[in-house]
Amino acid sequence: MLKNITLALAIWFLVDWAYNEKIKPFLKTELNTAIAEPSKDSLNNKPLSLVKNLLSKDSVTYGLDISHYQGDLITALNKKKDSLYFVICKATEGTSYIDPTYEANCNILKEKHVVRGAYHFYLCEYDPIAQAQHFAKVVMDNQFLNISHLPPVMDIENSSMDTNCGDLKTAQNNILLFLKEVEKITGRIPMIYTNKSTGDKYLNTSDFAKYPLWIAAYTKDLTTSYIPSAWDNKWMIWQRSDSYSYQETNFDYDIFNGNRLELRKFIRSTIVKK
């Protein structure tokens, strides 16, 4: 009888310790993050009420993307106050350029425990494999990219696809070479950032639909008319505005297509299965 009581007490103390030391802190962090709602500031700063097609979601998940153009304002961002859940930083461009604020932004985001991502501005006149290797090295060297965070992003815009790209088929093959090399090195399925016009011109085959879409469309409501045809109306992140006003500086403002649990599931889905 005494042994049974001792065993029961031991089990109770073990369960109590596990709940208070491990489970409770985890739930507190996740639930606080999950229920954080945007503050009721002016629509200029918090335009979430205008996102009509996301109102049926359990919650709205949004973030920012930044580069050196925003200076060091990321230091002032408050995760809870601004309902900020993810930040995507410019990392590289071409075969050698590194955004001058990238390393500092990485360190700050790590400290703030914000879901993070990194993007490469693609320049078609440079070798796609060399660009992919440069990008992958930068994001992996400082351990910025890991399985808890957003996949690497290839930024493709009209301004990056100039007359030196060759014919359309060559340009498309080079884009695919970049994407496949990044996937091979990082073990993550990359995301493509683009807009309707660039997507329909350069990314108009099913080869590109494998890659999640981060769509740039500065509109109050995202409709199918803004989605490049290859993705068949599917999108993962929406860059809704390039003029999110914060301390007299404009940020690019982004919305994930789902709640925060769905964002976590999406992140896991981009891990290449071996």
pLDDT of residue 44: 31
CA distance 228 to 222: 12
Q: Looking at residue 113, what is its pLDDT?
A: 80
Q: pLDDT at position 151, please?
A: 96
How do the domains of the chain map onto residue ranges?
Answer: 1-35, 41-269
How much is the pLDDT for 45?
Answer: 35
Q: Say how many residues make up the chain.
A: 274
Element (H, E) at 131: helix 128-141
Number of Cβ atoms within 10 Å of the Cβ of 204: 14
Burial class of residue 112 (count of CB atoms within 10 Å of its CB; 0-12, 13-18, 19+): middle
pLDDT (0 to 100) of residue 195: 96
Q: What class, spelled out in words, does domain 41-269 have in CATH?
A: alpha beta
pLDDT in tens, the chain (274 residues): 545 555 554 554 555 555 444 444 444 433 333 323 333 333 233 333 333 344 444 567 878 887 755 545 555 555 444 567 888 999 999 999 999 989 888 888 888 788 999 999 999 999 999 999 999 999 998 666 778 899 999 999 998 887 778 899 999 999 999 999 999 999 999 999 999 999 999 999 999 999 999 999 998 888 899 999 999 989 999 998 765 555 455 566 799 998 889 999 999 999 998 7
pLDDT at 63: 84
DSSP per-residue letters across 156-222: --GGGS-GGG-SHHHHHHHHHHHHHHHHHHHSB--EEEE-HHHHHHHS-SGGGTTSPEEEE--SSS-
Provide the 10 A C-beta neighbour count for residue 27.
Answer: 12
Q: Considering the entire predicted model, what is its pTM?
A: 0.75
Q: Which residues contact 145 (CB under 8 A, 6 or more apart)?
A: 118, 139, 152, 186, 188
Please report the DSSP string for 74-118 in residue order.
GGG--TTTTT--EEEEEEEETTTEE-TTHHHHHHHHHHHT-EEEE
